[in-house]
Structure 1
Amino acid sequence: MPYAVGKFYEQVSDYDLEYQSQSEQDVPFWRELLQRLAPKRVLELACGSGRIGLELLQGPGDFLLDGLDLEPSMLKAYRRKLALQPIELQQRVALYEGNMTSYQLPRKGFYDLIFLPFNSICHLFEIEDQIATFKNAYDHLAPGGYFVVDTQLPDLDYLSNALNNPSHVYLEDELEDPNGEFTMHVYTTRRYDPNEQLQRLSWVHEKYFETGENERYLTKLEMHVFFPRELQLLFLSTGFAIDAIYGDYTFKPFGKGTRQIIVGQKPH
């Protein structure tokens, strides 16, 4: 059975700290893509605590942004951050708790753009869930709308190490709390099941507080590894045309980077 996704995402403040540097990479990409596509109605799946959405709202354009996430703690943090924004920005946002495989939003057939960023598609382990997610996005898009999925390109050396050295412990990151209250070290172990295409990841977070106290906790997560033709077939088999595939966040061609960012379009 898959690990509960919520266990990893319940520590929202630590998650935000750990992935704050990711925004320097992918937020400019999403901002540029919105300028190119010029949508008026946008839905972000697996929106989390607003790492991407809040940045996009403060950029150009007056689009409406809906966000959907499965984890209540993430949505609570998103709402808390949103409450600090100007009222006119708050009025452009609606947040929903739900599963990307089965959500039924009031604005079905409404969106010009639905996007699923930063490996969140990897939480879909079963083929049935993958197809349901793509069909649901298709149904919620207006004719001519776009569905964009961003995930990592499989690294065969990385997966080989995870397969052959499942007990090896890696120091993933060393982070400083912005308020100076603690230092956090993040350690991981990685296992890979090639038959199921699953990464099984374990994280140990160790905090060293200025008060001299320590804190340690363990989280686990499973992530499906999507190979390129597999992901492209999901788009084609659910009715989308593939408009573009990018290899990284600077719009390099597919194969020239470490990402596979697919832009699918619902026919007019």
Structure 2
Amino acid sequence: MELSKAAEQNQLWNAEVAARYDTPGSGMFAAEVLGPTVDRLAELAGGGRALELAIGTGRVAVPLAERGVPVSGIELSTAMLDQLRTKVDAETIPVVAGDMSTARAPGEFTLVYLVFNTISNLLTQSEQVACFRNAARHLSPGGRFVIELWVPELRRLPPGLPATVGTADPGYILLDTYDVLQQHVVSHHFHFGEGTDAQLFRSPHRYIWPAELDLMAELAGFTRESRHADWTGSPFTADSPSHVTTYRLPDPDTA
């Protein structure tokens, strides 16, 4: 029997994965990574409310809320939400359980954001377009939608081979396998312990070219406001491995 999308996500992002997702002080939780992210999002919120799509364990939402920005979230994985609740209660950061492409959070926001490549967890183009439209539904006029996303690494694919090595560190190897016809990639995360101990976690994605992302935004009524290589505002170039792009809804009062 085919699993529902919620069941698939709960199977993928389960309690075991959620428990080891947080790495305080290192990796994507390092101060040099989180600091610029939170600084930029707080600035873009402009004193208003922020909504994080796929809020996960609150890596960004918790420090953003601590900065005084009212943050809400949408999250499909029960285990990831349970992990968030070990840090903050529902009054501090309210979260709607649901799909980021369709679920509706109460109220209106000046900022919706989607970080760390998470829009690629939606595995079809139509779902990704729906995510843009869902972001637009939550925003007040002039509101912003910010996406952090990697640039597909097809130029790094070895001739005749479908995989790239993304990371090769002591204790961790990331291997990405590509289906270039479907724009699908599966990330294989290998974690090594002592001796022969090893763990494998796989996550499927649909990669999006920057130009395709801009067209999705246009279909949802956004215009692109900026694109940078990182959260500090470094210039985006042909060699940038990722980007932070800000889209904005029109504001009739300032037209």
Query: TM-score scaled to structure 2, two decimals?
Result: 0.83
- Relative to structure 1, the CA distance from residue 162 to residue 41 in structure 2 (aligned partners, 3 Å threshold; closer, same or farther) is farther
Superposed displacement of residue 216, structure 1: 4.0
**Post-superposition shift, 1:41?**
0.8
- In structure 2, what is the equivalent of residue 181 of structure 1? none
Q: 1:127 deviation in Å? A: 1.6
Aligned to 1:94: 94
Q: Which residue of 2 aligns with 1:138?
A: 136
8 Å CA contact retained: 1:162, 1:191: no
Identity across matched positions, percent: 26
**Which of 51, 56, 62 is the equivalent residue of 2:64?**
56
Contact 1:27 1:52 in 2 (8 A): no
Q: Unpaired runs of 5+ in structure 1?
A: 84-89, 175-184
Aligned: 1:205 with 2:205: no
- Report whether the alignment pairs 1:15 with 2:12: no
- Distance (Å, rounded) in 2 between the aligned partners of 1:129 and 1:26: 28
Matched, 1:148 2:146: yes
Q: In 2, distance between residues paired with 1:236 and 1:156?
A: 25
Whichever residue aligns with residue 53 of structure 1, its letter is: A
Distance of 1:150 and 1:16 partners within structure 2: 19
Give the alignment's TM-score, normalised by structure 1: 0.79
Q: 1:173 and 1:5, CA in 2 relative to 1: closer, same or farther beyond 3 A?
A: farther
Equivalent residue for 1:112? 110
**Which 10-residue stretch deviates more, 196-205 or 66-75?**
196-205
Q: Could you say if the C-alpha distance between residues 95 and 118 of structure 1 is closer, same or farther in structure 2, counting changes exceeding 3 Å? A: same
Supply the AA of the counterpart residue of 1:234: M
Query: 1:131 Cα shift?
Result: 1.3
Residue 41 (str. 1) matches residue 56 (str. 2) = no
Unaligned 5+ segments in structure 2 are none
* Secondary structure of the corresponding residue to residue 106 of structure 1: coil
> What is the aligned residue count?
242
Greater length-normalized contact order (CA 8 Å, ≥ 6 residues apart): 1
In structure 2, what is the equivalent of residue 31 of structure 1?
39
